[in-house]
Structure 1
Amino acid sequence: MGYKTIVVHVDEAPHSAARVLMAADLALQHGAHVIGVALTGVSRFLYQNEMVDDEDPNLALHLDVLRERARRALAGFAPQLHALGVHSVEERVLDDEPGAGLALVARHADLAIVGQAPPDGRSGSPAAFPAEVLTESGCPVMVVPFTARPRGSISVTPAGVASPGAPAPGRHILVAWNASKEAARAVREALPLLARADKITLAMIDADLRPAAFGDTPGADVLAWLARHGISADTQVRQTARQGLLKRPGDVGEALLMLAGETGCDLVVLGAYGHSRFRETLLGGVTRTVLEAMTVPVLMAH
C-alpha cells in the first residue's frame, strides 16, 4: 500500500520548486493523486465569526491581492507535473492560514509535503507551520529542507520533460527509534518508503535509559516487525555524553543529526511528540532541533 493522495504546500518561496518535485517523485513511485495548495493567509475564523465586514471595499481589495498571489504561486503547477508524467493533479486556492488550511486538506490525504522554515524568517510561513500541519492533520508530513535543490531528484530537460536523474530521496533512510508510540506511528507511515529503500539504518540513542521499552536487545522487535514486511535494516546504538552530577543525557536531537551526517542518509523518519496548536510549545525538543538544523528531508508522524 503506497501513498495515493499527496498534498503539497505551494507558495512563492524560492524552495517551493523542490517541494513540487518531491511530490512528483513520490507520485510517480506510488501512482498518486497530487493536490497543490496555495493559501491567502486570511483565517477562515474571520468569516465564520463574522468579524469582518463583507462590504468593506478595502477588505475586498486586500483579499484580491492575496488571492492573486496564491494563484500566481500555483501558476504552472499542473503543467509542470503533467510534463513530469503525473497526470492526476489538482489545484486549490484557499482563504485560510497556511498551517490550519493545509491541515484540513491533509486530513483526507496519505502524505503532506511542506517546506522547512528558513532560519532568518524569509519564508511567508511561520516557523511553527510544519508542526501545526503535523499536529492538526493526522497525516504524516514530509518536511523538505529550504536548502534543497529544485532538481535534486528529477532531471528535467529544457523542454520540461522528465529524464533520468539522481535517485529520489529515500534510498538510504535513517529511522529514529526511541520505542515511543510516536516512533511506532512514524515507522508504520513510512512503510511504503522503507519497502523501496536500498538501505535502512535504525538509530537508537540512549536506549539504556529505558530498558523496559527497548527490551533486552534494543531494536530486535522493530527489526522483526520490518522483516515480516520483507524489509531489512542495520542498527546504530549511540549514547549521548552524560552531563553534570546527575549524569543527565546530552542533546538527542544533535546526536541524531550527527548520525544522519555520518551515515550519509538522504531521508530521516522521526516520530514527533507534540501538543495542540494552542499550547505554547508545539513540538518536543528533539523534533525542534531536527527541524531547525535538518539538511535532508524528514518524514514525521504524530
Structure 2
Amino acid sequence: MPRSGARPVSRRPTAASAAGQRSPAMESRDILVVIENAAAVPQRIAPVAALATRFGARLTGFFASGYPIMASYGDVSGWSQLVDAYMEAQRREAAAAGAAFRQALTQGKLRGEWIFREADETGSAVAEAALYDLVVVGQPNPDAGLTGGIGLRPEEIVLSCGRPVLVVPYAGAFADIGRRVLIAWNGSREAARALHDSMFLLEGAEAVTVIEIDPPAPGVAAPAASAAQVAAALSRRGIAAKPESDTSGDIGVEDLLLSRASDLGADLLVMGAYGHSRMREFVLGGVSRSIFRHMTMPVLMAH
C-alpha cells in the first residue's frame, strides 16, 4: 500500500482543567499515552491519570492504524480489499479506544486530547514522542499473538524516541506510581539519563532506593559514580534516598532487581535501556529485554 502523501489526522480536545492552582512548570508537562487497542485503555491510563492529577499534567492519547502485513508484499490478488477491511477495522477500534480515553479524562477531571493517525504505528509514535515530556507504552502481552516486526513495537519506541518512556505491565493494578522507587544504577550514560528523567517523580517520593549490582572493583573499570554517591546527590536535593550494593550470584541481574523491588514494596523501577540495531529494527538487549518481558510493576526507561 502506498505510504507517501498526507494521511488523515483526527485531533479532539477533551475535558477540562483539573482543579487547583499550578505552577508554570507543571502547566507545561505533557504526557503521550500510546494506545494500540480499546482494551488497553483502562490498564494504560490508571497510573498515568494519577500522575496527571498529582502534577497537573496534560494527557494525549495516541492511536495509529498501522498497515496490514499484506501491504508489504506488492500486488497480491485481493490485497486492496484486505487493506480496506483492515483499515476500516482499525478506524472502528480507534473510535472505541478514543471514546474510552475521553471518558477516563472526564471521570478524572483531566485535561487532554485524542489523536488518531492512519500511519505506521511505531514510526508515527516515535515521531510524535519528540513533542512530549513523558511517553507511556504498554508491555506486550505474550498471549496476544504475533509480535516483533508486526504492529506496535514498544521496545523500538523506548530506544528510538529520545524521551523517557513509562512501560506499564499488561497485567496487574497500578492505581499510583512513584511513591516508592527503586533505581537500577550502573554508572552508565543510560542510567544517568533515566535518573534525571525521573527526577520530577523522585522529588515527591516517600522512599527511593538506588541499587547497584555486581559493581566492578576499584581500578578495574572506567571511573563511575557509585550508588552511594547517587543517593548522597539525591539527598542533597531533599530526596529520601538510600544506596544498596549487591551481587547477583546464581540468579540473573533482572531477577534480583525484580526481587528487591518486591521486597521494598516499590511501585516504580527506574533504569536505563540498553539496545542495538538489528537490520532496520531496534531491539533491547540483555537485562533491559528481560525486564521488559517479565516486569511486575511500571518501569521508567531512558535510552
**TM norm. shorter chain > 0.5:** yes
1:158-188, Cα deviation, whole Å (9 max, x unpaired): xxxxxxxxxx211110000011010000000
Correspondence for 2:41 among 1, 11, 16: 16
Residue 135 of structure 1 contacts residue 277 of structure 1 at CA under 8 Å; is this kept in 2? no
Deviation of 1:103 after TM superposition, in Å, equals: 1.3
Correspondence for 2:223 among 213, 222, 228: 213
Residue 39 of structure 1 contacts residue 97 of structure 1 at CA under 8 Å; is this kept in 2? yes
What residue is the counterpart of 1:158 in the other structure? none
Correspondence for 1:5 among 16, 30, 36: 30
Q: Is 1:34 matched with 2:42?
A: no
Distance 2:161 2:55 in 1: 21
What residue is the counterpart of 2:105 in the other structure? 81
Residue 100 of structure 1 contacts residue 136 of structure 1 at CA under 8 Å; is this kept in 2? no
Instruction: Report the residue type matching 1:285 in the other structure.
Output: G
* 3-state secondary structure, aligned to 2:125: helix
What residue is the counterpart of 2:122 in the other structure? 99
1:31-82, Cα deviation, whole Å (9 max, x unpaired): 1121101121228xx79xx999xxx566444422322222222113123212
What residue is the counterpart of 1:235 in the other structure? 243
1:168-211, Cα deviation, whole Å (9 max, x unpaired): 21111000001101000000000001011100011110013566
Instruction: Report the residue type matching 2:106 in the other structure.
Output: H
Distance 1:12 1:109 in 2: 21
**Paired residue total:** 270
Residue 35 of structure 1 contacts residue 91 of structure 1 at CA under 8 Å; is this kept in 2? yes
Residue 10 of structure 1 contacts residue 20 of structure 1 at CA under 8 Å; is this kept in 2? no
Distance 1:284 1:190 in 2: 22
TM-score by length of structure 2 reads 0.79
Q: Structure 1 residues 51, 229: CA separation in 2 closer, same or farther (over 3 Å shift)?
A: farther
* 3-state secondary structure, aligned to 1:265: coil
TM-score by length of structure 1 reads 0.79
CA RMSD, Structure 1 to Structure 2 (Å) = 2.9
Distance 1:73 1:13 in 2: 4
What residue is the counterpart of 1:285 in the other structure? 286
Q: Is 1:64 matched with 2:65?
A: no
* 3-state secondary structure, aligned to 1:270: strand
What residue is the counterpart of 2:298 in the other structure? 297
Distance 1:98 1:179 in 2: 33
Deviation of 1:105 after TM superposition, in Å, equals: 1.1
